[in-house]
Structure 1
């Protein structure tokens, strides 16, 4: 990577870090990235309101290949003392999406200056943390006949600058599920005159261990109780409304669907038994992310040719990633560049993206573009 381009990418990363924005609110971030590319490249830029992409065109009949970076931040305060600290109270880039976008922008500089024999699409995506972004951008794949898409995520707990690869499922599917039950209020001395959702909700919670038992599922299945909110803080009242908030998660989407159906069926049965109305709502839905082996093999080949340590991952991440939306429409893969085994983990206060891995990412992307 050219020294000047690396310096520009690092400077860009620091600017993005100073101005973090939450999912679906990345107005400054998106415009700053667009301005950077307009200033330093001749690439065609297409603004899609919440997200955008830039294009290097090699010509008709050339392969269409895409690279994706996310650019939203987290609702976490910046508490570490760094020169480029967040200037937005309560918001910071504690997942490294500032580094992902800076890496993709640095890669765009290299391609713009040196050329390529493929049509290359640089996709800058909003709202990864909530799962909204990729779902909204996915039409981009079919619109431009994207034949392959690549991305990387920085990752702590992995050897510094190592390239970590896995075939098949890389991230579990997940979603937030709210079970709302509503009955009728009554005086606390006469609960039989009302319909209290507490027992029905308790029985749903009690059934969770069986639903997620390894004996009943092929892959890992998890159901995390996030919140139980029943009734009011009034000792004279028998509760009449209740919400059970769960995060449901599975290695395989069909088993996530099975878990959801089991929870819904049981909730409906309990609601009927206790004379309650029940409804369901969902948020933060993520698909499974399934890497194509051919694409992962390309990452392996390039990383080895570039002299990077290649590490074979033995299991998928439990955490979800909306990148899976793209992989339902075309082949591709996501890999992970290590921050170091003992480096602070993502989504912790001590974490800050390591500028050192920008060059690794850019060189990896360049090698993939040359295959």
Structure 2
């Protein structure tokens, strides 16, 4: 049994004191203190910077299953007025990571009461999901070599779906998302003599127009691609000066990692050729890279079976969600799956200033994860 009231208090405490990616120091301390009450066999701290992994060992050797949640919040001011509203100026949990942490913390309570008969369970509290850097940092950390899971699982709460509904999809669950920064260097001149300089404005205009032609918004096809202009900067607000440098930023979403590779190469070619035509020097960089989260068919079937066995409402989604998730780097390296957990049809959307994770769905997430752990570590599964 889990103490729902304790987990709710814990979730609301985490909500009150959010921290952004890479700075989850106090959050990690609070997680560590919570875990001490539930005696993990091994605690690995500092994974990928501020991450923490609690390992629970079964009585016999067997498979290792990893359950992952996220530590970080967002640089979004909270507009809610309830008692547990954020006390960190300009920062708040607007993606529900506080709720995800509470659910995985609840697993520690269950595993403390009854270790798996076989294998190992790793409860991973991962840093820096929001900026796309956390999964890579954790996986490349020498401490992760001690873990090496056989299967990996995660969930994400999903507003606009009924509370407690399990949302599944085989294959791509979330798309690949990369952001490109194109810096252009020309030559500053007097605005009355622009021909004596090299202004990046026309190259930027061409890049914006040609990037728009890359879009293929039909998510039902493997050619799906959304290209969103994010930021444009050029020169200074000085009306007597013809700008000599500028930048343009885009976020690109593609259904598959292969499609992202192709679009990325085309985008770089467009930027280089536009710069060359206008006599500019270009510098191209990529940031906040999220790999597509590709769910393993067998792992999805286990989720499907467990939801049915537990009497939970199940929804089979036909198309991927549109947001990025760095759990895709885990499913790229290990078989596993992410599933959705309905947060309520009237719940504010993720990343909205008034969003708050619904505490009533905490037990559903804990139960789903615990049954997955039992399924993978039981030894009753036929493995390839």
Q: 1:41, 1:350 → 2: CA distance?
A: 36
Per-residue deviation at 1:143? 4.0
Aligned to 1:13: 11
Alpha-carbon spacing, 1:87–1:121, altered in 2? closer, same or farther (3 Å) = same
1:100 counterpart residue number: 100
Matches of 2:248 and 2:59, distance apart in 1: 54
2:196 counterpart of 1:198: no
The CA deviation at 1:43 is 3.9
Q: For residues 321-341 of structure 1, give each alpha carbon's deviation from its aligned partner in whole angstroms, at most 9, with x where no partner exists.
A: 000111111100011110112
Moved more, 190-199 or 38-47: 38-47
Which string of whole-angstrom CA distances, capped at 9 and with x for unpartnered residues, describes residues 116-161 of structure 1? 1231000000111001111111246654231001111111011111
262, 266, 281: which one pairs with 1:258? Answer: 262
- CA RMSD across the alignment: 1.6
1:13-52 paired onto structure 2 within 5 Å: 13-48=11-46, 49-52=49-52
Match of 2:186 in 1: 183
SS at match of 2:231: strand
Alignment of 1:27-176 (within 5 A): 27-48=25-46, 49-59=49-59, 61-117=61-117, 118-139=119-140, 143-176=146-179
Match of 1:267 in 2: 271
- SS in structure 1 of the partner of residue 282 of structure 2: strand
Q: Using the TM superposition, give the Cα deviation of residue 255 of structure 1 relative to its aligned residue in structure 2, in angstroms.
A: 1.8
What TM-score, normalized by structure 2, do the two folds share?
A: 0.92
CA distance in 1, matches of 2:223, 2:279: 36
- The aligned residue for residue 349 of structure 2 is 345
**1:219 Cα shift?**
2.6
**Deviations along 1:148-182, whole A, 9 cap, x unmatched?**
01111111011111101000001111112110111
CA apart distance, 1:61: 2.5
Residues paired across the two proteins, number: 368
Aligned to 1:230: 234
What pairs up with 1:294-333 in 2 under 5 angstroms? Answer: 294-333=298-337
TM-score (norm 1): 0.95
Matched, 1:283 2:284: no
Give how far 1:111 is off.
Answer: 1.0
Matching residue of 1:246: 250
SS at match of 1:120: strand
Structure 1: unaligned runs, 5 residues or longer: none
Contact 1:228 1:242 in 2 (8 A): yes
Q: Which stretch of structure 1 is more off in the superposition, 250-259 or 280-289?
A: 250-259
Give the gaps of 5 or more residues in structure 2.
376-384
CA distance in 2, matches of 1:116, 1:13: 26
Q: Is the 8 A contact 1:212 1:259 kept in 2?
A: no
SS in 2 for 1:340: coil
2:333 match: secondary structure:
coil
Q: Does the 8 Å CA contact 1:161/1:337 hold for their aligned counterparts?
A: yes
**Alpha-carbon offset, residue 59 of structure 1:** 4.4
- Structure-2 separation of matches of 1:30 and 1:214: 39
> In the aligned structure 1, how far is the partner of 2:151 from the partner of 2:167?
19
CA positional deviation for 1:71: 1.4
Say which SS state the counterpart of residue 295 (structure 1) adopts. Answer: helix
- Of residues 148-157 and 112-121 in structure 1, the stretch that sits farther from structure 2 once superposed is 112-121
Residue 381 (structure 2) aligns with: none
